[in-house]
Chain A
Amino acid sequence: NAGVMQNPRHLVRRRGQEARLRCSPMKGHSHVYWYRQLPEEGLKFMVYLQKENIIDESGMPKERFSAEFPKEGPSILRIQQVVRGDSAAYFCASSPPSGFSGNTIYFGEGSWLTVV
């Protein structure tokens, strides 16, 4: 059973460019979460999605950031007009369809974004 798959693992973007990070949940999982981890810091919740629905995006900046989880294909976290402060590791996690009633979430290997 493949785990949570993220790509790219490493991404370098110039200021002002767009970054797209992709996440495929574990087989059988329909809930996807995105977390951001700044250097030497903890994990900050950004957004929780189910297929074709954003359930909670309270942790995501209102501008430049967006996320989707289409009916077909991976979840995508999109960062427009990147700035140096966006440099971080972005972790995707998934959980089973019974919902987030305390179910375990499993993390992908992360996507490291560097903005130069």
Chain B
Amino acid sequence: GENVEQHPSTLSVQEGDSAVIKCTYSDSASNYFPWYKQELGKRPQLIIDIRSNVGEKKDQRIAVTLNKTAKHFSLHITETQPEDSAVYFCAASYGGADGLTFGKGTHLIIQP
């Protein structure tokens, strides 16, 4: 089955700086890569996703890049703000019936 590795487990950045979270996946058949943000005690919320037919996608301060050859994808957050503090999860799927496989999460801390 699919295996997703996520790094770093904790990331602390100064407010206004950029944050980058990286994930690798093992199954070359995977074709869908969402990112979820989870605040303490809350549900995971989809913030951005990318499919394997594109290499990059942007939504305001958030962008995701995908390198299919290397089997890795990254989340980029620019001009970070205090409300960006949360745990971020990457995930991968090939569209099969076994659901999304999640990384272990990155705790992003925005320092004022």
**Interface positions of A (Cβ within 8 A of B):** 33, 35, 41-45, 48, 55-56, 58-59, 91, 99-102, 104-110
Q: Is the CB of B97 within 8 A of A104?
A: no
Q: Report 16 cross-chain contacts, Cβ distance below 8 Å, ordered by A residue.
A: A42-B105, A43-B89, A43-B100, A44-B102, A45-B101, A45-B102, A48-B98, A59-B98, A102-B31, A102-B32, A102-B93, A102-B95, A104-B34, A105-B100, A109-B42, A110-B42
Q: Name A's interface SS.
A: loop
Q: What class of interface size applies to chain B in its complex with A? A: 20 to 34
Q: Name B's interface SS.
A: loop
How many residue-residue contacts, CB under 8 A, span A and B?
59
Q: Can you list, as one digit per residue, whether each of B64-107 has a CB less than 8 Å from chain A (1) or not (0)?
A: 00000000000000000000000001000101111111111100
Contacts known (A43-B44, A107-B45, A110-B43); A55 close to B97, Cβ less than 8 A:
yes
Verify if B22 is at the interface (C-beta below 8 Å from A). no
**Interface positions of B (Cβ within 8 A of A):** 31-32, 34, 36, 42-46, 49, 51, 89, 93, 95-105
- Nearest CB of B to A8, in Å: 15
Interface centre among B44, B49, B99 (most CB of A within 10 A): B99
What is the bound-complex CA distance between A41 and B103, given in angstroms?
9
**Contact pick for A33, options B42, B51, B99, CB 8 Å:** B99
Contacts of B104 in A (CB 8 A): 41-42
Q: Is the CB of A43 within 8 A of B102?
A: yes
What is the bound-complex CA distance between A107 and B36, given in angstroms?
10
